[in-house]
Structure 1
Amino acid sequence: MDRRRFFAAAAATTAAASLPLLSAGVAQARPAADAAQEQKLTRLMLDALSRALDDPATAAVVEPHIQDIGFNWHPPVTDVENVDYIVAYAFGNRAPAAGGDPAKVLYEPGPVNEALADTIAAIRKQKDVPVFAQWEIARFLESKYGMDRVTSIEPVIAADGTITYLSTDGVAAQVVALRGTSGAAGVVGFRDHVKRCVQTTRDRGMLAFAPAGVEMPGDYDAESGQPWTRRRDLYLLHDMYAQFAVLRQKAITAAYPNA
């Protein structure tokens, strides 16, 4: 086996050993054993990337980003008692039940967003705080739980009825516009989405964490109206693409702020 194949196989073995990072449904701090595995993976990836690029200096800059985006799916966490408000991000949807032009008829919230609403209800039993939830989740908080102090983050509807659904960043921007950035946000999101939800919330100036010990929904909806949210393998690629897009812009801005 040549050295490139050796390092690829070794990295794959280390990644397999850390698969709980990809399957853990509960937001919690990682144990020391995971940190040791990450250090081992870092060494393997740095060596393999340095050889592939023939450029150790560039490999040292790029590798941490590849490792974070590709192998770290844990958001930073805080105890529920530290949370001052909840920010909840939707995941997937269902085609309009009565049909019609999907550009002008709201999609149905779907079962994943109902599960996210259930998660919020469980958190509210621990601490009664205001909720800012994307509309797909807010509908269930209102209809299923009759929950008070819920602000629904709605899509943008143009004068001609055309609907523009908000991105994760668009939802975070609306929360800031509505309440500002004071206090600590407890972020609720789908298991494989929640890390990016926390990052996006922080990028908008909020102090954000996932609530520690809270299990985030992780079952995919094969009937979702968003194809990339139907299967885990497709969604992980989508989420990594989104993380890299944000990183790319930050890196370019940092390198050339006046460009």
Structure 2
Amino acid sequence: MAAPALMGAAPARAADGSATGLRQHMRAVLAAELADRDAAQALTPLLHDVGFDWHPETVPVADCDFVLAFGFGNRPPAGGGDPAKVRYEPGPVNEELADTVAKVRAGRNVPVYAQWEIARFLTSKYGMSDVTSIEPLIAPDGTITYLSTDGVAAQVAEARKGAPGGAGTACVIGFRDHHKRCVQTTRDRGLKAYAPRGFDMPHTYDPESGQPWTRRRDLYLVNDMLAQWSALRSKLIADAFPNG
């Protein structure tokens, strides 16, 4: 069976390769497909943002007050056991993320909030101080619940409430294809957040990750777009019907 994008006659190419040209082309094709120019006008910027824009806004590291690092993937427990109660291993991708944090921190000595998979490397490999590890939730029976991207952002937002001078601006570290959503989710939790300008994020996928959706880029991008659409759906409904 042909992929949906290849079925039927291909539409004419966009007039130019710019983002503006792409949006114009998308709007024209969608308007024809839906027979609804107003709907196409409303949907095009959303489709472009979720599907075609993968780079978060940046600022110089000097403008940031703290570092916030989000984990990506993991490895199954080395010693085996019940995966619901035995913590997963951080894995190589999170070590690369810790390396990136160390590079950023070298030029800006500020507090670091890091998902536990990254925090382990920051302390064991770098001996880094002023690191707050964002840990998974452990129930009384030992069951482990790993935090989502939003769960991590929520904990850091709560921790920064009492910071001297206010919450400040977050310098967000994340896996390349996860990075934009990390920044946006942090902002959704009420914090100022940007990517550090001039720093490349890790981008090599781990085929042995314990999370299947983080093993291959094509699978992860679908997963990330789903998460973006879910957050956007909630915002749009709340904006359209604030009273329910």
TM-score range, shorter chain: over 0.9
Q: What residue in structure 1 maps to residue 229 of structure 2? A: 244
| Structure 2 counterparts to residues 1-259 of structure 1, below 5 A | 5-7=9-11, 10=13, 37-180=18-161, 182-259=167-244
* Structure 2 letter corresponding to 1:153: I
TM-score with structure 2 setting the length: 0.93
* Structure 2 letter corresponding to 1:234: L
Separation of aligned partners in 2, 1:10 and 1:144:
50
TM-superposed CA distance for 1:5, in Å, is 3.2
- Structure 2, unaligned runs of 5 or more: 1-7
Separation of aligned partners in 2, 1:58 and 1:138:
45
Separation of aligned partners in 1, 2:101 and 2:232:
29
* Residue aligned with 1:239, SS: helix
Q: What residue in structure 1 maps to residue 5 of structure 2? A: none
Separation of aligned partners in 2, 1:5 and 1:39:
23
Separation of aligned partners in 1, 2:115 and 2:122:
11
Q: Which runs of 4+ in 1 moved over 3 A?
A: none
TM-superposed CA distance for 1:6, in Å, is 4.3
* Structure 2 letter corresponding to 1:215: D
Superposed CA deviations along residues 79-132 of structure 1, whole A, max 9, x for unmatched, are: 011111001000000000000000000000000000000000001111111100
Superposed CA deviations along residues 185-238 of structure 1, whole A, max 9, x for unmatched, are: 000000000000000000000000000011100000000000000000000000
Q: Which has the higher helix share?
A: 1
CA RMSD of aligned residues (A): 1.3
Of stretches 175-184 and 67-76 in structure 1, the one that deviates more from structure 2 is 175-184
Separation of aligned partners in 1, 2:216 and 2:27:
31
Separation of aligned partners in 2, 1:202 and 1:229:
23
Q: What residue in structure 2 maps to residue 29 of structure 1? A: none
Superposed CA deviations along residues 33-62 of structure 1, whole A, max 9, x for unmatched, are: xxxx00000110000000000000011001
Separation of aligned partners in 2, 1:172 and 1:246:
14
Separation of aligned partners in 1, 2:202 and 2:169:
22
- Structure 1, unaligned runs of 5 or more: 18-36
* Residue aligned with 1:86, SS: strand
* Residue aligned with 2:102, SS: helix
TM-score with structure 1 setting the length: 0.88
Q: What residue in structure 2 maps to residue 22 of structure 1? A: none
* Residue aligned with 1:5, SS: coil
* Residue aligned with 2:172, SS: strand
* Residue aligned with 1:209, SS: strand
* Structure 1 letter corresponding to 2:81: G
Separation of aligned partners in 1, 2:20 and 2:71:
34
Pairs aligned (count) = 233
